[in-house]
């Protein structure tokens, strides 16, 4: 049940931010969309920013997992890179709410959000460097 509530809160955060923007999103709106009390919200997250960053972390992990799966499935590094780029671009295109939340609204969450995004980008960079290391010399 707790995992279900957390997932609903993250989905509520995504819907609120995508529809109203980060600044207009409130804990009360997120809790209402998730069908939980604001008190329940605070059992999972310390504040709105904490919830938003958890959402961004989960999204980054999901996309990274898909990219890693492509890299593992392909023997040829160049084919893996090409498919990875397609997966990456299609992922953002096919999820406009996520794209708005992560690419547009993240700036409104301030410095902690930029630091979180930088940490995510470092993981993507490690993945792409590992792929590049497979290139024949």
- Please choose, from the candidates 23, 11, 28, the residue with its C-alpha nearest in 3D space to the C-alpha of residue 95: 11
pTM of the model: 0.89
Assign 21 to helix, strand or coil.
coil
CATH of domain 2-133: 1.10.357.10
CA distance 122 to 128: 10
Assign 30 to helix, strand or coil.
helix
pLDDT of 124 above 90: no
**Segment 14-53, tens digit of pLDDT:** 999 999 999 999 999 999 999 999 999 999 999 999 999 9
CA distance 87 to 120: 17
Predicted local distance difference test score (pLDDT) of residue 77: 86
CA distance 89 to 101: 16
CA distance 107 to 23: 10
């Amino acid at each position: 049940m707790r995992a279900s509530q957390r997932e609903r809160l993250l989905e509520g955060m995504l819907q609120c931010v995508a529809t109203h923007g980060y600044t207009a999103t409130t804990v009360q709106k997120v809790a209402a969309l998730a069908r939980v009390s604001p008190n329940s919200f605070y059992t999972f997250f310390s504040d709105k920013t904490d919830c938003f960053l958890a959402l961004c972390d989960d999204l980054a992990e999901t996309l990274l997992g898909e990219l890693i799966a492509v890299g593992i499935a392909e023997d040829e590094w160049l084919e893996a890179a090409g498919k990875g780029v397609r997966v990456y671009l299609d992922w953002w295109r096919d999820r406009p709410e996520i794209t708005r939340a992560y690419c547009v609204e993240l700036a409104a969450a301030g410095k902690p959000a930029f630091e979180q995004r930088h940490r995510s980008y470092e993981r993507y960079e490690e993945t792409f460097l590992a792929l590049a290391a497979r290139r024949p010399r």
